[in-house]
Structure 1
Amino acid sequence: MGWCLYFCIYKCGIIKQREVDANILYIIKASEGGFHMIDTISGKLIKKLPTYALIDVGGVGYGIHIPISTYHQLSEPNETVTLFTHLVVREDSLLLYGFFTADEKRIFLALISVSGIGARTALAVLSTLSAEEFEQSVIRDDVKRLTGVAGVGKKSAQRIILELKEKFSTQTTFSEIVPLHGEEVKEDAIMALVSLGYKRTAAQVAVQKAEGALGSIYGIEDLIKTALRFLS
């Protein structure tokens, strides 16, 4: 038997505990700063989709919401992976978000700290812009680029810039895009666009146009970002 997984959720002055067998230990505690937990999860990758990963940890499958940037960097199923994680606690659910790099997680946490910006929009940002591109857009007051993200309007973009500009430094490290090809990649790109709120028919047309614009060598992130330009 593995470690014990404890969920300690503070609500109305009552601590509720739930024990689950696993190979990792989370301790969630209530404080004025919110809920805290161990930052990573490691295990065998069972399944990956552009916005979702299933990781087996000691026989327990963890469903993790991910941005497209993380999907692109994940290994193939049945290999061991490690993701930086953040747990969002709601009244009726526990939602786990995962990121391939600490930098992605940092951007995600910064975004959900902005008034009116939720986890879904934060994932859309990371699925459209790299961490570096997002930071530079904020630093340079680039409202136009931020509004290119599905779900981010002009007022939201201005609020993001207002609340995050002073927090960001310009020194970060990022992974390179690995060229990919084939129908599977195009389908993944279409699925990713649909998950961002676009209709499948529109996503298919945009991906086809993006493929023509990019030529013969491109990565899935390139394909999605270019397709988004045709959708905007």
Structure 2
Amino acid sequence: MLGRIRGTLAEKTPPFVLVDVMGVGYEIQLPMTSLYQLPDVGNEVIIFTHFVVREDAQLLFGFATKKERALFREVIKANGVGPKLALTILSGMSAQQFVQAVHDGDITSLVKLPGVGKKTAERLVVEMKDRLGNLDISASVTLDGNVNVDEQTTSIDTTESAKSEAISALVALGYSQVQATKMVKDVFQDSLSSEELIRASLRNIA
């Protein structure tokens, strides 16, 4: 199993990245909370991975820390929750927020995420409350060695490119084209990069 990848960040197209390891490019899908922590393209990254093999595909999911990966692995154990939905959940809220929502039985916050209906939210709370009790989810260093994610700067995309990339990323996370377009429109500012637009859009629905 592929547990960790270290290489050069070759491409970053939320929610996917391409990491070059000695000439081999690994396409990895990350939750947005981990993707925010990436350095600029061209820099070295270390990503903790979870490899999924299906009949029709081989998928590689990545995380900023081992703790985030551990949480992902617990989430996909829940009945009816696959890797894609788990990634969407961890894109819409941080690991700490998810653990708190489960602990508090906060169904309202969970059903705001695409693909999470009331029954799924209730099942997550019931099935995961005990399992998450011993899971230590706390702030850790980021993929590029920094601690404070919010202070990380990103390059400014052109206006239309930033908007389209943000919308495409939200659609990939499970939102409809109409929903994604509206979410980006509600928070759009010329100065925001695509990653900042995605982050603002997700925060706006929380």
Give the shorter-chain TM-score range.
0.7 to 0.9
Tell me how far apart the structure 2 counterparts of residues 220 and 72 of structure 1 sit (CA, whole Å). 11
Tell me how far apart the structure 1 counterparts of residues 30 and 137 of structure 2 sit (CA, whole Å). 24
Q: Say if 2:202 is the partner of 1:225.
A: yes
What does 1:110-129 align with in structure 2 at a 5 Å threshold?
110-129=74-93
Label 1:55 to 1:157 Cα distance change in 2 as closer, same or farther (>3 A).
Answer: same
Label 1:102 to 1:151 Cα distance change in 2 as closer, same or farther (>3 A).
Answer: same
The counterpart of 1:191, out of the listed 154, 159, 168, is: 168
Partner of 1:151: 115
Q: Say if 2:64 is the partner of 1:91.
A: no
2:68·2:137 contact (CA, 8 Å) conserved in 1? no
Q: Which deviations, in whole Å up to 9, do the C-alpha atoms of 1:162-196 show, x marking residues without a partner? A: 11111224752255324666635544432222212
Q: TM-score, normalised by structure 2?
A: 0.81
Unmatched runs of 5 consecutive residues or more in structure 1: 1-36
Q: CA deviation at 1:219?
A: 4.2
Q: TM-score, normalised by structure 1?
A: 0.72
* Structure (1 or 2) with the greater helix fraction: 2
Q: CA deviation at 1:97?
A: 0.7
Q: Say if 2:177 is the partner of 1:173.
A: no
Unmatched runs of 5 consecutive residues or more in structure 2: 141-147
Aligned-residue identity in percent: 35
Tell me how far apart the structure 2 counterparts of residues 120 and 204 of structure 1 sit (CA, whole Å). 21
What amino acid maps onto 1:43 in structure 2? G
Tell me how far apart the structure 1 counterparts of residues 7 and 105 of structure 2 sit (CA, whole Å). 40
The counterpart of 1:203, out of the listed 180, 183, 199, is: 180
What amino acid maps onto 2:24 in structure 1? V
Label 1:141 to 1:94 Cα distance change in 2 as closer, same or farther (>3 A).
Answer: same
Q: Say if 2:82 is the partner of 1:109.
A: no
Q: Secondary structure at 1:168's aligned position in 2?
A: helix
Q: CA deviation at 1:43?
A: 0.6
What amino acid maps onto 1:151 in structure 2? G
Tell me how far apart the structure 1 counterparts of residues 89 and 104 of structure 2 sit (CA, whole Å). 16
* Structure (1 or 2) with the greater strand fraction: 1
Q: Which deviations, in whole Å up to 9, do the C-alpha atoms of 1:128-179 show, x marking residues without a partner? A: 0011100000000001111111001111111111111112247522553246
What amino acid maps onto 2:168 in structure 1? M
May I ask how many residue pairs the two structures share in their alignment?
190
Partner of 2:145: none
Which range moved further: 64-73 or 180-189? 180-189
2:4·2:47 contact (CA, 8 Å) conserved in 1? yes
- Larger Cα Rg: Structure 1 or Structure 2? 1
1:48·1:77 contact (CA, 8 Å) conserved in 2? yes
2:10·2:20 contact (CA, 8 Å) conserved in 1? yes
Partner of 2:101: 137
What amino acid maps onto 2:5 in structure 1? I
- By relative contact order (CA 8 Å, sep 6+), the higher-ranking structure is 2
Tell me how far apart the structure 2 counterparts of residues 188 and 133 of structure 1 sit (CA, whole Å). 26
The ranges of structure 1 where at least 4 consecutive aligned residues each deviate by more than 6 angstroms after the TM superposition are none
Q: Secondary structure at 2:130's aligned position in 1?
A: helix
Tell me how far apart the structure 2 counterparts of residues 89 and 198 of structure 1 sit (CA, whole Å). 25
**Root mean square deviation, CA, Å:** 2.5
Which range moved further: 179-188 or 166-175? 179-188
Q: CA deviation at 1:91?
A: 2.4
